[in-house]
Amino acid sequence: MASVNIADVRKNYGQVEVLHGVDIDIKDGEFVILVGPSGCGKSTLLRMIAGLEGVSSGDIAIGGRVVNDVAPKNRDIAMVFQSYALYPHMTVEANMGFSLQLAKAPKEQVLRRVREAAQILGLENLLDRYPRHLSGGQRQRVAMGRAIVRQPQVFLFDEPLSNLDAKLRVQMRAEIKQLHQRLKTTTVYVTHDQIEAMTMADRIVVMHDGVVEQIGSPLELYDRPANLFVAGFIGSPGMNFLRGRLGTSEKPEFTGSGGARLQLPAGMKVSPDVEVVLGIRPEHLMLVETGIQAEVVIVEPTGSETQIFARLGDDEVVCTTRDRINVRPGDMLALQPDYSKLHLFDAETGARLHC
């Protein structure tokens, strides 16, 4: 196992810079997920760790050794891709053992490691099958098995679950997490799916347009997003945002440009007359007897909870409740935020304001 240290790493394709100075320190044994919208540079960064792409500037170190000029096969990493890239003419056993065979490992060692990996992944009964006779989930497991037999210092995953249906994705998510708890191999995992990131990672790196927006544990990112981008990206349904201005510290009040008015808790440190964005997570917007008036637009029951989209002045907000409530589009609701859970951001820079 090994740490992975990424220091001021940049990547250019010709004149275009797609990674603008990325710093990430991944501890030995950690499960870190790179998450962000499509095109933000996740795969590029992962492929640079793997050595499949060169580093334009900065350093990447694995286990304390700078590997910028080290060939992929000498980096002691194993990568699992979205397209499993199994050899169709080889059995599961041959697919899993192939890299060790290539490395001229003794036959008994190959056999033993393949058997161990097959046992970990529940593939013992499928070793003689060919990939075309496997389900998507089984193929995914073989691709992971192929990585496991190499006993690398670092696992690299690039959207490994994207080709699976929703139910299987949830199952494989749990399996990969368990696998990590068992093997404790340092893992860097790329996904665009924030739920995947939240549920699996020790720490999440949120990326956007080639920069790191925030690094933290899942709940740190959820509870204290550093900026509007992270606040909006993490969480589903997303955080409600209301643009407006604050009153004075003596009389902290939020006046939304859409018409919403909120008394803020006394003593809340605010800078008067700054354009702000107030953020409220849907579960922190409660239905009350008397509160801010909002008109119901859409009601979406999911069973465990109900999402209610409502108009608040010119803004639309969503609140979630676990109660069974009987409301219809057009009805008026009274809402009240949980004041201890409000988020404030600078409207211009998007940065979190202390609150």
Which residues lie below 8 Å from residue 82, measured CB to CB, with a gap of 6+?
Answer: 158, 159, 160, 162, 163
Rounded to 5 degrees, what are φ and ψ at 172? Answer: -65, -35
Cβ at position 297, least distance to Mg ion in Å: 35
Distance CA 71, CA 74 (A): 5
Which of 42-50, 116-124, 136-144, 306-314 is the region at the interface with Mg ion (rule: CB under 5 A)? 42-50
Instruction: Note whether 43 binds Mg ion by CB under 5 A.
Output: yes
Which residues lie below 8 Å from residue 335, measured CB to CB, with a gap of 6+?
Answer: 285, 286, 287, 288, 291, 292, 293, 294, 310, 312, 317, 319
- Interface residue with ligand ADP, options 8, 12, 39, 248 (CB under 6 A): 39
Cβ at position 289, least distance to ligand ADP in Å: 47
By C-beta, is 43 or 138 nearer to Mg ion? 43
Cβ at position 145, least distance to Mg ion in Å: 23
Instruction: Note whether 40 binds ligand ADP by CB under 6 A.
Output: yes
SS3 content of the chain, % helix, strand, coil (to 5): 30, 35, 35
Q: Which of residues 279-338 bind Mg ion (CB under 5 A)?
A: none
Which residues lie below 8 Å from residue 268, measured CB to CB, with a gap of 6+?
Answer: 249, 252, 355
By C-beta, is 22 or 26 nearer to ligand ADP? 22
By C-beta, is 18 or 183 nearer to ligand ADP? 18
Distance CA 250, CA 70 (A): 61
String marking each residue 41-80 x if it binds ligand ADP according to CB under 6 A: xxxx------------------------------------
Which residues lie below 8 Å from residue 52, measured CB to CB, with a gap of 6+?
Answer: 72
By C-beta, is 11 or 284 nearer to ligand ADP? 11
Tokens of 184: 């404790």
Tokens of 106: 């003794």
Tell me how far apart the terminal alpha carbons of the chain are, to the nearest angstrom.
Answer: 40
Cβ at position 305, least distance to Mg ion in Å: 32
Which residues lie below 8 Å from residue 302, measured CB to CB, with a gap of 6+?
Answer: none
Task: Count CA atoms closer than 13 A to 34's CA, side-chain side.
Answer: 32
Distance CA 10, CA 7 (A): 9
Which of 34-42, 54-62, 172-180, 345-353 is the region at the interface with ligand ADP (rule: CB under 6 A)? 34-42
Which of 36-44, 120-128, 239-247, 307-315 is the region at the interface with ligand ADP (rule: CB under 6 A)? 36-44
Which of 38-46, 90-98, 223-231, 342-350 is the region at the interface with Mg ion (rule: CB under 5 A)? 38-46
Residue 44, contacted partner among ligand ADP, Mg ion, none, CB below 5-8 A by kind: ligand ADP
- Interface residue with ligand ADP, options 1, 7, 10, 18 (CB under 6 A): 18
- Interface residue with ligand ADP, options 13, 107, 329, 341 (CB under 6 A): 13
Which residues lie below 8 Å from residue 15, measured CB to CB, with a gap of 6+?
Answer: none
Cβ at position 151, least distance to ligand ADP in Å: 27
- Which residues contact Mg ion (rule: CB under 5 A)? 43
User: Which positions lie near ligand ADP, rule CB under 6 A?
Assistant: 13, 18, 36, 38-44
